[in-house]
Amino acid sequence: MLQVAYIRDHKAEVLKGLAKRQIDASMMIDQVLLLDEARRATQTELDNTLAESNAISKEIGNLFKSGKAAEANELKAKTSQLKEDSKALGEQLNEKVNALNELLYKIPNVPHLDVPAGNSEADNEEVYREGDIPKLHAAAQPHWELAKTYDIIDFELGNKITGAGFPVYKGKGAKLQRALISYFLDKNTAAGYTEYQLPLLVNEASGFGTGQLPDKEGQMYHVGEDDLYLIPTAEVPATNMYRDSLLAETDLPIQLTGYTPCFRREAGSYGAHVRGLNRLHQFDKVEILRIEHPEKSYQALEHMVEHVKTILKELKLPYRILRLCGGDLGFTSALTYDFEVFSTAQDRWLEISSVSNFETFQANRLKLRFKNKEGKTELCHTLNGSALALPRVLAGILENYQTEDGIDIPEVLIPYTGFSKIQNS
C-alpha cells in the first residue's frame, strides 16, 4: 500500500500517476489526508495525556516521600481521569488507524514514469520481439485437438473429476509437464535463485501482505472453516516469508524461486481464446522473486527480464515483450513487462509471464524493512516474475513444434523428458 507520508508530500504526482490507470483518485486521496490529519492530532493528544499522567505520577511519588500524603491523594484523582482519557483516546486512535488502512488498501500502486497511459491491453507497448513464427503443415491443429490426437491431456476427464479448468495430464503429456518444471527450476537456481517448496494455502494476513486481498478476494478459493486461501501464485507464500522482517543491508538482494500449483476462480467465458490450456482454474507455475535495495530494484527488474528471455530462446519459441499501460497494470505493480508466446495454430499471442516491480507497495503492507549503512530503517522493494507459467508455454510447444507425424520436443527439454517426439503408438 502507498505510504501516507509520500502521499502527503507528493499529492500531485500520486494523482497524476493514478490517472494513468484511468482512476480519478482525488476524493480518496483527500480522504486519506483528512484521516491522517485526524489520526496525527489524536496521537498528539494521546501522547500529551500520557506525558501529563507520567509527570503527575512522579510528582505523587515525590509528595509521598516528602510526607505530603494529603496533596498526593488529591493528585491521584486527576491521574485516574487521565487514565480514562488515555484509554478513550487510544480507542479513537485505533479506529482512525483502521479507517485509514481500510482506505489505503483500496488504492492501487502509483505507476512508474515509464508506464504508458492507456485503457486496456490494446494500449500496451511492444518493446521487444524475437524468434521466427514457424510455418505449419496444412492439417495443423490447436493444442486442445492435439491433446486428443496424442492422448496427452484429458480436459473432459478433469471436468468429470472436478470441473472445467482442471485438466488431467497423461503419459508423455505429464512427463513433458514435469520436464518443464524441472528445467525452469534448474535455470533459476543456476542464475542464483534459492529454491523453496512452499505451502499451497495461506492465511488472510498473507493475502493482505502481497495485495491479493481485498483486491482479488473473489478470484481466490477460500477454505471457510479454516479461513485459509488457496494460493493464486507462489509469490504470496514466498514474499510472506519476510513479513514483519527487519533485514540488514548486507542481506540484500534476496532471490527465491519455487514451483507450485496455482488456483484462480477467474470468471469463465466462452470461445477459442479460453479453450484448452488458455485459461485454467488450476495450473502449474515456477516463480522467481527478489527483495532488493530501492536503488537497485530497476536494475534487478531488467536482470529478471533478461533471465526469462534466455529461457524462451532455449525453448526456441517466438515471443514478444510488452510494457503494460496503466489501464492494464496489476493493482500492486509499479511497472510490469508481459511476455507472450505466439501460438501458430491459434494465430494469436498467449501471455506466459509477467515480470513486475512493486517498489515499496508490498513491503509497506508486509512491514518488510532493512537498516541502511547509516542505521536508518527503509522499506525494501519487492519484485516477482513467472519463469514460467506452464499451461500456455506447453500450448505454444505443442502447437509450434507439431509436424505431420507427431510433436517434436524442444532440444533443451529432451534430457528431462527422455524422449524427443510425441507420436501415436
pLDDT digits (tens, 9 = 90+) for 243-294: 999 999 999 999 999 999 999 986 544 455 678 999 999 999 999 999 999 9
> What average pLDDT does range 155-171 have in this prediction?
96
Asked if residue 425 belongs to a known ligand binding site, the reply is: no
Mean pLDDT score of the chain: 94
> What average pLDDT does range 53-81 have in this prediction?
81
> What average pLDDT does range 142-163 have in this prediction?
96
Give residue 269's pLDDT: 47
What is the strand order of the sheet 406-408 is part of?
A: 402-403, 406-408, 421-422
Please identify, in words, the CATH class of the domain defined by 121-422: alpha beta
Lowest mean pLDDT among 56-70, 136-150, 245-259, 354-368: 56-70
User: Is the separation of the CB atoms in 184 and 284 below 8 Å?
Assistant: no
Q: Is the pLDDT of residue 80 over 90?
A: no
The whole model's pTM is what?
A: 0.92
Asked if residue 48 belongs to a known ligand binding site, the reply is: no
Asked if residue 71 belongs to a known ligand binding site, the reply is: no
Give residue 57's pLDDT: 84
Q: Is the pLDDT of residue 348 over 50?
A: yes
> What average pLDDT does range 7-22 have in this prediction?
96
Asked if residue 320 belongs to a known ligand binding site, the reply is: no
Q: Which of 366, 367, 370 is nearest to 247 (CA)?
A: 370
User: Is the separation of the CB atoms in 113 and 121 below 8 Å?
Assistant: no
Comparing 216 with 335, the larger pLDDT belongs to: 335
Give residue 273's pLDDT: 61
Asked if residue 354 belongs to a known ligand binding site, the reply is: yes
Rounded Cα distance between 265 and 230, Å, is: 10
Asked if residue 352 belongs to a known ligand binding site, the reply is: yes
Asked if residue 57 belongs to a known ligand binding site, the reply is: no
Q: Which residues lie across from 338 on neighbouring strands?
A: 322, 354
Output the 3-class SS for the chain.
CCCHHHHHHCHHHHHHHHHCCCCCCHHHHHHHHHHHHHHHHHHHHHHHHHHHHHHHHHHHHHHHHCCCHHHHHHHHHHHHHHHHHHHHHHHHHHHHHHHHHHHHCCCCCCCCCCCCCCCCHHHCEEEEEECCCCCCCCCCCCHHHHHHHCCCEEHHHHHHHCCCCCCEECHHHHHHHHHHHHHHHHHHHHCCCEEECCCCEEEHHHHHHHCCCCCCHHHCCEECCCCEEECCCCHHHHHHCCCCCEEEHHHCCEEEEEEEEEECCCCCCCCHHHCCCCCCCEEEEEEEEEEECHHHHHHHHHHHHHHHHHHHHHHCCCEEEEECCHHHCCCCCCEEEEEEEEECCCCEEEEEEEEEEEECHHHHHHCCEEECCCCCEEECEEEEEEEEEHHHHHHHHHHHCEECCEEECCHHHHHHHCCCEECCC
Please identify, in words, the CATH class of the domain defined by 4-104: mainly alpha
Sorted by where each begins, the domain ranges of the chain are: 4-104, 121-422
Asked if residue 356 belongs to a known ligand binding site, the reply is: no
Q: Is the pLDDT of residue 312 over 90?
A: yes
pLDDT in tens, 359-404: 999 999 999 999 999 999 999 999 999 999 999 999 999 999 999 9
Asked if residue 287 belongs to a known ligand binding site, the reply is: yes
**Cα 399 to Cα 308, 360, 386, 410, distances in angstroms:** 21, 40, 21, 12
Give residue 73's pLDDT: 76
Dihedral of alpha carbons 195, 340, 141, 410, sign = negative
Q: Is the pLDDT of residue 166 over 90?
A: yes
User: Is the separation of the CB atoms in 314 and 409 below 8 Å?
Assistant: no
Asked if residue 266 belongs to a known ligand binding site, the reply is: yes
Q: Is the pLDDT of residue 74 over 80?
A: no
